[in-house]
Amino acid sequence: MDNFIEQLKGLSKRVSRIQSSIKTEEATKTSLILPFFQLLGYDIFNPDEFTPEFTADVGIKKGEKVDYAIMSDGKPIILIEAKSVNEKLERHDSQLFRYFSTTNAKFAILTNGIIYRFYTDLEEQNKMDSSPFFEFNIIDLKDSTITELSKFRKNSFDLESIFTTASELKYLNKLKNFLNEQWDNPSEDFIRFLLSQIYDGIKTKNILEKFEPIIKKAFKQFINELVNDKLNAALKTTNIDDDGKTEKIQKNEQNGEEKKISQPEIVTTEEELEGYITIKILLREYINEERIYYRDNRSYFNILLDDNIRKWICRLGFNSSNKYIQFNDEDRTTYPVEKVSDIIRFKDKLVDVVNKFI
């Protein structure tokens, strides 16, 4: 899984770098789309497994061809319609819709090499749904996207399992998109719904306009407080004793024993602890967060794997006005930072360093 994540992120960077130089549909297929399916483990050079120009006759129209079909036991299981990177996908789903109903395939993918839309027949059997159950942008990969994509890898593909979760995924993504739309620009209906929970008066136009900025503010405060609560909960693993010595407490899940490391005469700042917690949160999906430790010293703040100084992941230099983060890579790469939240920009670097130790 770790290697898959690394390769997928590598492809994401490559697509971002070369997309502007791609002008045709064929170039899109060769440079963007085929490498993606190859990364999923399919042999794109074996027509028995990955068939180009798959024939999908539609009614009286013969010789209709879909760009690719992923095959299993001589039957298509996934149809793939590819468009140029410069084309919008909205007007092309009807073409894939026709192909879907004439084959045994349970999934269909429409893509321009950047956006990938996954369809199935949740609403009516053997009839492709009008909206995808899963969609992602390869240049803007999210952790949840990678998890769902891993289910479509050749070595882990389970048709029934994916189909069972497709319905939940479809409506989960619709809800996320809806909430994202309401985040900055809540609709009148949404404002009315929220007001119906908290306001007994008549919901006039003036009242709706009055409450719109309040609802926006409430949204943002709620999310900020939720994040802060999680940070504070994580900080409970760290105490400062009465003598001003910093102690890191690591609890052994098996025997319940706690291990304390005292560092006298060194002041561990709240900013350094926030950096430590931020890094734990960024890495938690790649490695058990209980394996991530810290050791402070006068010059810098060490983030370690397995409490092993030889496995330091990065160093935070927060004790001067010129703050920095240094990574344990081949070049000991160092980047300036202005605030703790800047660490989020270096998630890929953190993952790369951790991967070399596991």
Per-residue pLDDT of the chain (358 residues; tens, 9 = 90+): 558 888 888 899 999 999 999 999 999 999 999 999 999 999 999 999 999 988 876 554 566 788 999 998 888 989 999 999 988 887 766 777 877 877 888 899 999 999 999 999 888 887 888 888 999 999 988 877 888 888 889 888 887 778 778 877 888 888 888 888 888 788 999 999 999 998 888 889 899 989 888 888 888 788 777 766 666 665 555 444 444 444 445 555 455 555 555 544 678 888 898 899 899 989 988 888 888 999 988 889 999 998 899 999 999 999 888 899 999 998 899 999 988 989 999 999 999 999 988 8
How far is it between the farthest Cα atoms of the chain?
86
Task: Locate the DSSP E strands across the chain.
Answer: 50-55, 65-72, 75-82, 107-111, 115-119, 134-137, 238-240, 246-251, 258-263, 292-296, 301-305, 308-317, 324-327, 334-336
Structure tokens given for 234 = 């994580």
pTM of the complete model? 0.57
- Sheet with 238-240: strands ordered across: 238-240, 246-251, 258-263
User: What is the number of other CB atoms lying within 10 angstroms of the CB of residue 138?
Assistant: 24
CATH topology of domain 2-178: tt1808, chain A (3.90.1570)
Angle (CA) 16-18-24 rounded to 5° is 115
